[in-house]
Structure 1
Amino acid sequence: TLIIDRADKYGLSQLHQLRGRVGRGRERAYAYFLYDPSKPMTQQSHDRLATIAQNTALGSGFDVAMKDLELRGTGNLLGDEQSGHIEGVGFDLYVRMVSEAVEAYKEPERTEPVAVSIDLPIEASIPVDYIDSDKLRLEAYRKLAAARNEQDLEELREELTDRYGNPPIEFATLFAVARLRNKARALGLTEIIAQGNRVRVAKIDPPESVQMRIARIYKGVQYRPVTKTYLIPTPFAGSFGSEPMGSDEVVAWTDQLLDDLAWKPQSRR
């Protein structure tokens, strides 16, 4: 039998290691973790004791370690600092950043993914009644922004469905914008930003055949080769006799624009 007084003062890994000192033989063993109920307990202390109480099965050390990582932060992987504030960027994004850094070390010639800024007249947000926690809602936004391909988006959709239920209709627009960002990234673009009755697209250096095609399709378009920027007239605001475009229409128009920018003439045989 093991008795630990003021167990709330111990770290999670310490409690797990101490509990493992007993109960290794055929005789049933007991570990009692005591705390003073008359003194206030911090939320982290409560979480540590709750984690120990919940993970009693053989082989639960991994779950305890992951919870300890969540509570304390990952710290500095290359130094002795072990109190990093992982909450600042979120655990999933932090792990992705570390993974990208490792891949960059293994493959120094690999180019960094392009950061794409998209600012269009689109209403796309996560409803508060779907994810009521500001922190968890921000985490979902981070994961959506970090999605690099269709597989990432599908995995995120499955995760959200598993945690919060079927996503509302507003998510269709959010995922559509994420697809626009990935398509723009594949073209090497850095921004698609609406400015009045035009949209600015940068940076792109299209061949002459594409420039001629864009000029034919989008009347009044301007291309500035010095900054590698397109200024393209948009129908977002509508015109006489027509209503302004809705979010779905803006997404569809922008998607078609990206297809036109990616157009390549068919080779003649």
Structure 2
Amino acid sequence: HIATMQSAEKKLLEILPSLKILILHSKIDAKTTEDEILKFVAGGYDLLLCTSIVESGIHMPRVNTIIVENADKFGIADLHQLRGRVGRSNKQGFCYFLIEDKTALTQDALKRLVALESNSFLGSGSVLAYHDLEIRGGGNLLGEAQSGHIEAIGYSLYLKMLEEEIGKLLSRKSAAASVELKISVNAFLNSEFIREDRLRLDLYRRLSKCAEASEVLEIFGEIEDRFGHADIYTKQFIDVMMIKVLATKLGLRVISSMDENILITLASGDKVRLKAQTRDDDDVISEILIYLRRELKNANLR
């Protein structure tokens, strides 16, 4: 707060008497603010003591540390912007969110701080936006009041269900039905490989929306870039997503497997039977992918 800045400056100077401190807030005129900021960026001051006016639009590559007092009183977006003021060059950035009493934190404030602590990687803004929506609620989307809790099903699923219901009311046909997969293999995003629940759910959501094989491969490349060499279960899940994309392009109805036996139901209702070399998961998946890629290649040549 502007009213407490002088006392904060006094406390800092008691600790470090030679500290050169610049004080800025919204009541200081724009010309003075600009001149003083330029001096600070050039190294004329050691520390900037200010309100949240610096949260956006200021590029200070020399600055490597920011300390936010009473961080529990800020929103997620504010705190995410504030911590973005540091680490903007080749210097390691440090951000400290200070609170007076952890036991006095509200549930929402705790959720906000935990979300920010857990999502500090590059490009985490979209994940934080979902956290923010789930904490604050999605607002009154339809009608005079909104009942129920979005957090019970997650915001993405809520929007998907809402979109489907609106489509029904408008008598619109839903998007082309996806192929039904009944493949008996162990395929999932391994929690030991991707430990953060929120990240796994987000990857499941993104993979489920893929319509092209290139999109699946791009996400897989991102996974290995962020988390390292993928384990067998994660790789097999990516392969299953690839099967889904290719099968949908071919208009297939069902793909099922039992041991090494594979049954594919075509759009016409005809059935194709395949047999993998063994009942091992990787052989079953490989046999299906070989068939789908061959059929897709033939379809493109026609």
Question: Deviation of residue 253 (structure 1)?
Answer: 1.4
Matched with 2:110 is 46
| C-alpha distance 77-257 of structure 1, shift in aligned 2 (>3 A) | same
Secondary structure in 1 aligned to 2:275? coil
Secondary structure in 1 aligned to 2:181? strand
Matched with 2:289 is 255
Distance 1:168 1:203 in 2: 32
Greater RCO structure (CA 8 Å; 6+ sep) = 1
Distance 1:152 1:122 in 2: 22
Residue-pair matches, total = 211
> Which residue of 249, 267, 275 maps to 1:186?
249
| C-alpha distance 140-204 of structure 1, shift in aligned 2 (>3 A) | same
Distance 1:50 1:24 in 2: 30
8 Å Cα contact 1:189-1:204 kept in structure 2: yes
Matched with 1:23 is 25
Aligned ranges for residues 213-224 of structure 1 at < 5 Å? Answer: none
Distance 2:2 2:301 in 1: 77
| Ranges of 4+ aligned residues in structure 1 off by more than 6 Å | 49-52, 62-66, 98-101, 108-111
Distance 1:256 1:247 in 2: 14
| C-alpha distance 50-183 of structure 1, shift in aligned 2 (>3 A) | closer
| C-alpha distance 49-180 of structure 1, shift in aligned 2 (>3 A) | closer
| C-alpha distance 64-121 of structure 1, shift in aligned 2 (>3 A) | closer
Q: Is the helix fraction higher in 1 or 2?
A: 2
Deviations 1:171-213 (A, max 9, x none): 33222221111111012123201246643323521xxxxxxxx
Matched with 1:157 is 220
Deviations 1:8-57 (A, max 9, x none): xxxxxxxxxxxxxx9323177658757883854344222446889xxxxx
**Gap regions ≥5 residues in structure 1:** 4-21, 53-61, 206-227, 239-243
TM-score, scaled relative to structure 1: 0.55
8 Å Cα contact 1:173-1:248 kept in structure 2: yes
8 Å Cα contact 1:75-1:84 kept in structure 2: no
TM-score, scaled relative to structure 2: 0.50
Deviations 1:47-96 (A, max 9, x none): 446889xxxxxxxxx998765324224245334439751562464x666x
Aligned ranges for residues 128-147 of structure 1 at < 5 Å? Answer: 128-134=191-197, 136-147=199-210
RMSD value over aligned CA atoms?
4.8
8 Å Cα contact 2:184-2:256 kept in structure 1: no
Aligned ranges for residues 48-63 of structure 1 at < 5 Å? Answer: 48=112
Report whether the alignment pairs 1:235 with 2:275.
Answer: yes
Secondary structure in 2 aligned to 1:118? strand
Matched with 1:88 is 153
One-letter code of the match for 1:184? A
